[in-house]
Structure 1
Amino acid sequence: MTNANAHAGTPDISIPTIPLGELLPWLVFGSLLLMLAIYFVGAEQGATALFKGMYVHEFVHDGRHLLGFPCH
């Protein structure tokens, strides 16, 4: 038996491609969410605070230390 006939019955596996036009809105949305999360973790305290009180700061306090943002 030759090797040429051994692979004749296997299907052709191809990787589907995603057009950039369909991927771009999701990338923009994801990066906006990421920037919003980094703002709340990194800068929502003191003079740059959007909300009064320390509620947001206390909610993301452990995340601040995990990501290396100083707050004490």
Structure 2
Amino acid sequence: MAQSAMPSTQVQEPPVPLRVPVREILPWAVLAAVLGLALLYFVGAEQGATSLFSGTWVHEFTHDGRHLLGFPCH
């Protein structure tokens, strides 16, 4: 059988958007925010008067990250 050159008249329905309940996202968003703030603290402020840990090992561990993100450390 030969195929017709006319386009088919079938109408495609638009895709149904995926719904994710906020109750499922909220715990992961809070965890990500807490981890992000902890990382920001250690990279940006863990030295000197605001230091939680004695010594310079945290400063040395995050030293290059400080320079990359523009935090002063010297």
Counterpart pick for 1:35 among 34, 37, 51? 37
Per-residue CA shift, 1:12-60, capped at 9, x if unaligned?
7433221111111110110000000000000000011011100000000
Q: Determine the C-alpha separation between the residues in 2 that align with 1:14 and 1:71.
A: 51
RMSD over aligned CA atoms reads 1.9
Task: Please say if 1:65 is aligned against 2:67.
Answer: yes
Local SS of the residue matching 1:15 = coil
1:1-72 map, 5 Å: 1-5=6-10, 13-72=15-74
The TM-score with structure 1 as length reference comes to 0.83
Between the aligned residues of both structures, percent identity stands at: 54
Q: Mind listing any 5+ residue stretches in structure 1 that lack a counterpart?
A: none
How many positions carry a matched residue from both structures? 69
Bigger CA radius of gyration: 2
